[in-house]
Amino acid sequence: DAKTTQPNSMESNEEEPVHLPCNHSTISGTDYIHWYRQLPSQGPEYVIHGLTSNVNNRMASLAIAEDRKSSTLILHRATLRDAAVYYCILTGGNKLVFGAGTILRVKS
Amino acid sequence: EPEVTQTPSHQVTQMGQEVILRCVPISNHLYFYWYRQILGQKVEFLVSFYNNEISEKSEIFDDQFSVERPDGSNFTLKIRSTKLEDSAMYFCASSPRWSLNTEAFFGQGTRLTVV
């Protein structure tokens, strides 16, 4: 499974945008880039995914570099409820391989 | 909104005992998964299941583990003889199809404590 690299932690102020980076330099042509998050004491929750083009949904936006070796999850206005571990995952098979993710702290 | 439900939320068992963790996936989903997360560690894949058989399993999923879909709605994980190191959160997940272009839906988990 191709690997991803994310910062261990990030901090944001409430109501401000947050950009969570992910590097995946060994991504293959068929790997989708998925983002999940895990709120405290809960199961992982799907956020967004994409292949080549930028994607938007009600939760977030995903910006994918042209060479696909990196991507950025964008939360447009962070709230306290967005404090969680965010995982960037490449799906090259029929399973999700979770890394350590980025712990996002949101300050009020 | 449809959701994956898991029972019980917390299970305490003695070492060496058998335990069955239960999951009800979303009704029209075809692919089912078990993951586990030891306290403070990463979420780890255990097994995927499709068409009444295991499609992939990890090294963790040894002979002590088994999965079953006994009645078309429940999806169970059995640990035959629990060890202390089996203590973890166990998450069930389901997805509507096998595809790299789809999302998985996770349950809230069962916390298994082996004493």
Asked if B113 contacts B11 with a C-beta cutoff of 8 angstroms, the reply is yes
- Identify the closest residue of chain B to A50 by CA–CA distance: B101
Beta bridge partners of A71: A22, A64
Per-residue tens of pLDDT for chain B, all 115 residues: 889 999 999 999 999 999 999 999 999 899 999 999 999 999 999 999 998 999 999 999 999 999 999 887 899 999 999 999 999 999 999 999 877 678 999 999 999 999 9
Question: Chain B contacts of A93, Cβ < 8 Å?
Answer: 56
Strand order in the sheet with A45-50: A9-13, A102-107, A84-91, A32-38, A45-50
pLDDT digits (tens, 9 = 90+) for B44-54: 999 999 989 99
CA distance A98 to chain B (A): 6
- Identify the closest residue of chain B to A92 by CA–CA distance: B100
pLDDT digits (tens, 9 = 90+) for A62-98: 999 999 999 999 999 999 999 999 999 998 677 889 9
Using the Cβ of A40 and the Cβ atoms of chain B, whether some distance falls under 8 Å is answered with: no
CA distance A44 to chain B (A): 6
Give the Cα-Cα-Cα angle B40, B38, B104 (nearest 5 degrees).
Answer: 100
